[in-house]
C-alpha cells in the first residue's frame, strides 16, 4: 500500500511538472510572437537634405520654423552620422545649429 501512495504522489508531481512546463512554453511562445508581430518602428532615411527647412535658421539668427523642428526631430537618429561627416559637421555642430536644437526642444545627442 505504501508503494501505491508513492506511485500516486509521483504521478501527481509529474503531472504538475508537465503543466508548469506547458505554461512556461505557452508564455515563451507568446513572448516570441509579441516580438515578431509588434509593429516595427519606422526606419528613418538619413538624408541631410531633409534638414533643408532648417538652413535659414542655422545660417542666420532667425528662429526655426515648425517644419524645421519636425524635420530635426525626424532626423535625430541620423545626427551623429552627420556630425561625423567632415562636410556636414560644421553646419550640424555650429553654435546656430545648437540654438535651433534648443529652440526645437531637441537635446543634442552625445556621439
**Rounded to an integer, what is the distance from CA 10 to the centroid of its chain?**
48
Judged against a pLDDT cut of 90, whether residue 13 lies above it is answered with: no
d(CA 76, CA 1): 74
The torsion angles phi and psi of 84, rounded to 5 degrees, stand at -80, -15
At the top level of CATH, which class does the domain 48-104 belong to?
A: mainly alpha
10 Å CB burial of residue 58 (0-12, 13-18, 19+) is buried
Query: How far lies 58's CA from each of 14, 53, 66, in Å?
Result: 70, 10, 14
- At residue 52 the predicted structure's pLDDT band, cuts being 50, 70 and 90, is very high
Which backbone phi and psi does 26 adopt, to 5 degrees?
Answer: -60, -45
Q: What is the pTM of this model?
A: 0.59
Annotated domain spans of the chain? 1-38, 48-104
Here the cell at position 51 is 534638414
Q: By mean pLDDT, which of 16-30, 39-53, 91-105 is the weakest? A: 16-30
Q: Which is nearest to 79 in space by CA: 95, 97, 65? A: 97
Amino acid at each position: 500500500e505504501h508503494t501505491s501512495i508513492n506511485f500516486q504522489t509521483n504521478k501527481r508531481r509529474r503531472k504538475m511538472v508537465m503543466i508548469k512546463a506547458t505554461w512556461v512554453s505557452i508564455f515563451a511562445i507568446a513572448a516570441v510572437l509579441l516580438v515578431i508581430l509588434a509593429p516595427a518602428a519606422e526606419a528613418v532615411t538619413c538624408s541631410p537634405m531633409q534638414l533643408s527647412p532648417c538652413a535659414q535658421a542655422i545660417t542666420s539668427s532667425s528662429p526655426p520654423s515648425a517644419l524645421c523642428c519636425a524635420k530635426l526631430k525626424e532626423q535625430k537618429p541620423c545626427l551623429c552620422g552627420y556630425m561625423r561627416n567632415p562636410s556636414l559637421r560644421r553646419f550640424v555642430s555650429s553654435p546656430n545649429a545648437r540654438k535651433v536644437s534648443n529652440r526645437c526642444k531637441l537635446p543634442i545627442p552625445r556621439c
